[in-house]
Amino acid sequence: MLRYLGRRLVTMMATLLAISALIFFIIQLPPGDYLSNYIAELQSQGEAVTGEKVEFLKKQYGLDRPLVEQYAVWVTSLLQGDLGYSFEHNLPVSKVVGDRLILSVVLNFATVIFIYVVAFPIGIYSATRQYSWGDYGLTLLGLLGLATPNFLLALILLYFANVAFGTSIGSLMDPQYINQPWSVAKALSVLEHLWVPVVVIGTSGTAGMIRRLRANLLDELQKQYVVTARAKGLPPGRLLRKYPLRMALNPFIADLGSLLPQIVSGSVIVSAVMSLETTGPMLLKALQSQDMYLAGSFLMFLAALTVVGMFLSDVLLALLDPRIRLGEGSGR
């Protein structure tokens, strides 16, 4: 197991290095850069931009270096915990991001927990009570969850939370805590506002996962070993836990690798609609302005979530299903 974990960690590092190269050079593909956009903006305001000033700005932002050297500096800084320098905000990326990264992590992991906590019991109930009224009702709710646009559900829940609970609209916390140091009151305010975006973002993922778990479990319940175990008098609850449920959980756990990036990417539009202080709206703005270090840091965050999610799903699958070979003695 330790050898397997070591190989997976090495693969993770190599994957992140390759992704970082792709991110950096893809950001450079659109014509121009932040400096050219900035100069065009100055000229539109009637300010004269001389050649000396252009050279000074290039040197200041490090854009006078070759792309390979710029990439090497950026990757080296990332390994040292330095996220780079934001051209647009004229500040280090770590200071620009601030609480946004923390709030994004809290929101995304809370959404993952919500999806699994809701989808797991509903999927089991629907599979074990196939064609019952409860199965039909929950299936209908799942289809509504898949069909309802996130931004529409966000508007409805925002209105409901404001009318029913007096929750302020347009943030992940009350206005008085924005840009303030963290405290118990600020954390409680975040928890008060957190449930709305968690439900909005997690609805579609929950609906899809319920359908997959239901289908997988129904397939296992119809197999011969389950029929034989029933015939031998094994109690239904013990039979379900010991055999078919474990087999049906494989795709359920494997989804963790793709679930995290899907949630993060899906939360961008929801964050923009709900005016949340997460990384989504800032990522969109950074891509539009070609603020490459700020955008690159956000995209590397998404890549890290994807790679870590795949690693966790692989480890959990190996622990759950003994049929999965970890590689030790595979040549025997």
CB 267 within 8 A of CB 107: yes
Within a 10 A sphere around the Cβ of 101, how many other Cβ atoms?
19
CB 270 within 8 A of CB 276: yes
3-state secondary structure of 104: helix
Question: Which token pair is 42?
Answer: 């100055």
User: If you write DSSP's letter for every residue of 252-314 in order, what string do you get?
Assistant: HHHTHHHHHHHHHHHHHHHHHHHT-SSHHHHHHHHHHHT-HHHHHHHHHHHHHHHHHHHHHHH
Residue 85 pairs in a beta bridge with 92
What is the fold, at CATH topology level, of the domain defined by 101-277? MetI-like fold (1.10.3720)
3-state secondary structure of 145: helix
| pLDDT of the residue at 243 | 77
Give 170's contacts (C-beta < 8 A, 6+ positions apart): 274, 275
Domain(s) labelled CATH 1.10.3720.10 in the chain stretch across: 101-277
| pLDDT of the residue at 331 | 44
Q: Among residues 10, 13, 7, which one has the least CA distance to residue 304?
A: 13
Q: Among residues 14, 1, 19, 17, which one has the least CA distance to residue 314?
A: 1
3-state secondary structure of 86: strand
Q: Can you give the pTM of this predicted structure?
A: 0.74
| pLDDT of the residue at 127 | 86
Give 43's contacts (C-beta < 8 A, 6+ positions apart): 49
**Helical ranges in the chain per DSSP H:** 2-27, 34-44, 51-61, 67-79, 93-97, 99-128, 133-147, 150-165, 184-221, 224-231, 236-242, 244-254, 256-274, 279-289, 292-320
Q: Among residues 225, 323, 312, which one has the least CA distance to residue 12?
A: 312
CA distance 143 to 19: 35
Q: How confident is the chain (332 residues) per 10-residue block, as mean pLDDT?
A: 77 88 81 69 66 68 76 82 75 77 81 86 87 86 78 82 79 79 83 86 80 85 84 82 77 71 68 74 76 80 80 78 55 42
Distance, CA of 140 to chain centre: 26
Residue 92 pairs in a beta bridge with 85
Element (H, E) at 91: strand 91-92
